[in-house]
């Protein structure tokens, strides 16, 4: 019996509302969307009823960089399940060591140390703990409109809308406008432990920094002895056309955080990768930070296969070629629909479409469901729709996406004109 569609859509929604999230069920009912993920393969996802198919250009923020149900990742996990289980995080692990060795080989400079977790928020929490423990300082500077997760310290770096309902947050967290070196310089001082930025903030609207911004961040961190943390949860592992998004800016941070895509869309995995000089704290206190399921040994082999695919000679060139096709096509669409599509923001296959009004972002997402495309507006700038296709997308599929976007823009234009 198939695992998909064991009940009707109505029954699934009712069960979900009753036991998981009544708020989500109410929201989707209110906007007229009853899409439930059923079959999934490559760039496509089908509704549980089998009646509707979408090209996934949301990819859950990069979880599905290698497409849905990637057969190589599944095969790797199946092989691991023949011999391994979660493992025991208290002990030395052959399999975490193998994955860590492969990860640091893909990193610039002397980022040689890895601690594994389950999700991005957990990995960000550790990065902040490392920075504070290493420097002995309290202050962490992040970007307004940025997003680093919903866990404790990660939550404190984000916007108030995510923090305030849960009461007072820990002190020592400061926000500055992203891309503004003068504002960052004014905020830094002898109490600054770390500066934490996404390479390209997705929730803020795929905001591209000035080309010299991260070089300036590096200089300021060096001046004050602060730790430079780069959140590569969405931009890493090929999304921007290089292994890491920060590689495209030619800057070496002190800590890189990766997650989502490291899972291969199959097994949860995150990693905090840091420079050798930061290791003294964890060397002296090797049990001060633990994660029961972080770096689960069966999951290590799924993640190793992710890195095998990433390292293939044609993988990153393919990403760059597909990015070029999107760049050309989106430029034509901007010329064709100037009243609604004001700006295209792109670095590799990390793309954002800036629309004329904040109300148009949600409308554009709805248009996607009508035209066969899954794209989500940025929560902290609803005028921007995120466009993150699988990195394995092929030229004919790029053409399909561009044709769908053309129809979506025309549909939005018609609605605005009424």
Per-run averaged pLDDT (10 residues), the chain, 418 residues: 91 96 95 93 96 96 98 98 96 97 96 97 97 98 94 90 85 96 98 98 96 98 98 98 98 98 98 96 93 96 98 98 98 97 98 96 95 96 97 98 98 79
- Predicted pLDDT at 161: 83
Q: Token pair for residue 144? A: 């307004």
Domain 71-310 sits in CATH 3.40.640.10: yes
* Residues with Cβ within 8 Å of residue 314, at least 6 apart in sequence: none
- Predicted pLDDT at 417: 60
Q: Which of 97, 376, 406, 130 is nearest to 253 (CA)?
A: 130
**Domain 9-22+32-69+314-417: CATH architecture, name and number where available:** Alpha-Beta Complex (3.90)
Scanning 157-268, the segments in alpha helix (DSSP H) are 160-163, 181-187, 213-224
Scanning 159-249, the segments in alpha helix (DSSP H) are 160-163, 181-187, 213-224
- Predicted pLDDT at 418: 55
Distance in Å from the first CA to the final CA of the chain? 48
For residue 251, give the H/E element and its range.
none
- CA atoms of 330 and 346, how far apart (whole Å): 10
Q: Are 286 and 91 in contact (CB under 8 A)?
A: no
Question: What angle separates helix 395-417 from helix 360-371, to the nearest 10 degrees?
Answer: 130
- Predicted pLDDT at 233: 98
Q: Are 72 and 309 in contact (CB under 8 A)?
A: yes
Burial class (CB in 10 A: 0-12, 13-18, 19+), 241: buried
9-22+32-69+314-417 shares its CATH topology with 71-310: no
Q: What is the per-residue burial (b if ≥16 Cβ within 10 Å, else e) of 257-278?
A: bbbbbbbbbbbbbbbbbbbeeb
The domain locations on the chain are 9-22+32-69+314-417, 71-310
- CA atoms of 83 and 80, how far apart (whole Å): 6
């Amino acid at each position: 019996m198939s695992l998909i569609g064991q009940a009707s859509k109505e029954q699934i929604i009712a069960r979900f509302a009753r036991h998981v999230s009544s708020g989500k069920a109410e929201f989707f009912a209110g906007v007229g969307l009853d899409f439930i993920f059923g079959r999934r393969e490559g760039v496509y996802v089908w509704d549980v009823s089998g009646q509707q198919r979408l090209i996934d250009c949301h990819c859950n923020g990069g979880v599905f960089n290698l497409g849905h149900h990637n057969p190589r990742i599944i095969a790797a996990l199946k092989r691991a399940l023949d011999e391994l289980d979660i493992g025991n995080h208290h002990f030395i692990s052959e399999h975490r060591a193998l994955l860590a060795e492969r990860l640091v080989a893909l990193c610039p400079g002397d980022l040689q140390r890895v601690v594994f977790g389950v999700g991005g928020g957990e990995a960000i929490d550790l990065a902040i703990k490392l920075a504070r423990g290493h420097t002995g300082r309290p202050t962490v500077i992040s970007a307004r409109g940025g997003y680093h997760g919903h866990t404790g310290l990660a939550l404190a770096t984000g916007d108030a809308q995510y923090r305030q309902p849960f009461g007072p947050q820990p002190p020592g967290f400061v926000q500055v406008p992203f891309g503004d070196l003068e504002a960052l310089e004014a905020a830094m001082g002898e109490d600054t432990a770390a500066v934490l930025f996404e390479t390209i903030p997705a929730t803020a609207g795929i905001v591209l920094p000035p080309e010299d911004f991260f070089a300036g961040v590096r200089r300021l961190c060096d001046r004050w002895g602060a730790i430079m943390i780069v959140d590569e949860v969405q931009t890493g592992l090929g999304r921007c056309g290089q292994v890491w998004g920060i590689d495209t800016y030619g800057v070496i941070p002190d800590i890189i955080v990766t997650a989502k895509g490291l899972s291969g869309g199959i097994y949860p995995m995150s990693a905090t990768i840091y420079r050798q000089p930061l290791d003294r704290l964890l060397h002296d206190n090797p049990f001060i930070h633990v994660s029961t399921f972080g770096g689960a040994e069966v999951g290590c082999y799924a993640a190793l296969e992710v890195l095998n695919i990433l390292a293939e000679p044609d993988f990153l060139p393919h990403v760059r070629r597909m990015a070029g096709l999107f760049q050309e096509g989106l430029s034509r669409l901007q010329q064709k629909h100037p009243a609604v599509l004001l700006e295209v923001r792109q670095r590799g296959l990390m793309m954002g479409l800036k629309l004329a009004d904040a109300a148009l972002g949600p409308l554009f997402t709805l248009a996607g469901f009508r035209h066969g495309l899954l794209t989500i507006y940025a929560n902290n700038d609803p005028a921007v729709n995120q466009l993150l296709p699988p990195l394995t997308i092929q030229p004919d599929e790029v053409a399909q996406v561009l044709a769908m976007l053309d129809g979506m823009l025309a549909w939005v234009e018609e609605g605005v004109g009424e």
